[in-house]
Amino acid sequence: MRPCIYITALLAFLFASCDKPAPVSTPVVVEPAEPADEVVDPKLSVLRVNSTLQRWNPGQPWEKQPPRKRRSLAAVVGENQVITTAEMVADATMIELESIDGKRLAQGKVDAVDYEANLALIGLSDPEADQSFFEGMVPLEIAEPVGLGDLIDAIQVEENGTLLVTSGPVQSIDIVANFLPGEFFLTYEVKASMQSAASSFSVPALHDGKFAGLLTSYNAKDQISDITGTEIVARFIEDASDGDYQGFPSLGVSTSRTEDAGFRAWLKLPEDDGGLYVASVRKGSAAEKAGVLKGDVITAIDDYQIDRMGYFEHPVYGRTYWSHLVRGASGAGESITIDLLRDGEAMEVTAELERRDRQNELVPGYTFGKAPHFLVKGGLIFQELTRPLLESFGEEWESRAPLNLLDVIENPDKYEERYDRVVFLAGVIATPATVGYEPLRNLIVTEVNGKPVRDMKSLIAAFDEIPSDGLHAIEFDEENFKVYLDEVVSTAVDGQLLERGLTKLSRTE
């Protein structure tokens, strides 16, 4: 796959689709589960969500990619409100709610979304105009946390309205990333064979007639479904209930196991103790504010003992990875106690958990709903570095993307004092103003006309100040490397680019 930011000639870019494959909801025959006693008919509590999604083009940030459509089943969980996955609303230009029989339609809007947990609450765009849409529908109660061996019912509906219920036991419970890489949350892995006749991007899952989670992916070969844990969806719904969604917190540490005997001896860890080594502490994080240091060993959180591999014993889920104690069992604004071992000495700290805003970091982890910031000046194309841009280099982007750009995401501390957003030269359009510069790309900008470039706004402001000799001096992170751009020629080129179809030359909002 070619990098999405590879540019060859005037407005001619070679780029590849960077979409994540939709979760597979295929194969095999299934027998409906026996209905539980005295439970609401699921057809009264589910409906369809139809969405049109349109992402920005990472290689040509002034335009969008072709639209795509998705269709899923969602569960009614509150008054005139349904829950679905964040993937159904990410970069959505249209959201539509549809009754199971297809007779009622209403425009939807996102009331709350968490891309990291892959959850979204959808309400009506115009409740007064669509006040009868939810008539006769019954909100589902939230189930109690589900344990190993418990049965979960996946709800599907065929196009003709026939209800299909697929039952399966919880085979394992794990901490899984099902949408954004690196964002791990409690997930049930359920053994069941799903119907291909009622394929849907995601479907609700019930336990004893109550809402237990959302099926986010299905492996047809192994007949294993991943379902977002009940504790996660319950906390999401509760957090969003007041209209001020805070989101799931993070502690702000990276950790390593302590299985190696020599490593344990160096850490002065007793033979019978577990513990996780703190490899790094993010600047400004809840861990740093609590006094956690690199080199500490986390031995317990809220009195749950952490073993050498990072697991603790949960009373319902069994052996569970420690991060659930931060992202799931706790919420933003809540405090946890952390038992540490520092130089062989035991100590305890209290951390007040905070949400990490991935969209406002030096290199944003995702940019859903936000148009990319860019500048085209005389044919030079400047963009702000984001993780989605790096991912546009293909499935193996972590080895294929330019090393200098990868260094920013791997070692942000080196850049945070100089940049609010890292601006780089993404490519060059061959124009009279860029003769000789065509091969240049993926260079981090440090200064323009002697002015530091901290983000796209400061880059544009620097270009607005025209030097006395009419030549803009652009400096890059590479040592002693500078290029010049003629103001008169580049301004003329900009006008020609707009005449030839470029919709705009810059965006900062």
Domain residue spans of the chain:
15-245, 253-352, 359-507
Counting Cβ atoms within 10 Å, is residue 500 exposed (0-12), middle (13-18) or buried (19+)? Answer: exposed
Counting every residue written for the chain, the total comes to 509
pLDDT band per the 50, 70, 90 thresholds, residue 87: very high
Q: How far is CA 39 from CA 23, 81, 138, 166, 226, in A?
A: 29, 20, 11, 16, 24
Tokens describing residue 438: 């065509």
Residue appearing with tokens 């019912």: 153
CA–CA separation, 287 and 114 (whole Å): 22
- Tell how far CA 38 is from the center of its chain: 38
Q: How far is CA 239 from CA 50, 105, 185, 359, in A?
A: 25, 28, 16, 20
Asked if the domains 15-245 and 359-507 are classified in one and the same CATH topology, the answer is no
Counting Cβ atoms within 10 Å, is residue 406 exposed (0-12), middle (13-18) or buried (19+)? Answer: middle
CA–CA separation, 40 and 35 (whole Å): 10
Tell me, what's the pLDDT at 147? 94
Domain 15-245 has CATH 2.40.10.120: yes
Q: What is the per-residue pLDDT across 147-200, written as a single tens digit (0 to 9) for each?
A: 999 999 999 998 888 889 999 999 999 999 999 988 999 999 999 988 876 678
Tell me, what's the pLDDT at 39? 56
CA nearest neighbour of 428 among 1, 11, 2, 3: 11
Residue appearing with tokens 């009506």: 124
Tell me, what's the pLDDT at 35? 43
* CB neighbourhood size of 318 (10 A): 12
According to DSSP, the β-strands at 105-114 and 482-486 are: unpaired
CA–CA separation, 493 and 434 (whole Å): 10
Whether 168 and 190 have beta carbons less than 8 Å apart is answered as yes
Tell me: pLDDT of 14 over 80.
no
CA–CA separation, 3 and 21 (whole Å): 18
Tell me: pLDDT of 418 over 50.
yes
- ∠ CA 359-360-364, nearest 5°, is 50
Tell me, what's the pLDDT at 26? 35
Please give the class, per CATH, of domain 253-352. Answer: mainly beta
> What CATH code would you report for 359-507?
3.20.190.20
Task: Identify the DSSP state of 100.
Answer: T
Q: What is the per-residue pLDDT across 323-364, written as a single tens digit (0 to 9) for each?
A: 999 999 999 999 999 999 999 899 999 999 999 888 788 999
> Tell me, what amino acid is at 483?
V
Tell me: pLDDT of 18 over 70.
no
**Helical (H) or strand (E) element with 110:** strand 105-114
Q: How high is the mean pLDDT of the chain?
A: 89
Tell me: pLDDT of 369 over 60.
yes
- ∠ CA 167-169-172, nearest 5°, is 140
- Write the Ramachandran bin of 422: left for phi over 0, alpha for psi from -120 to 50, otherwise beta: beta
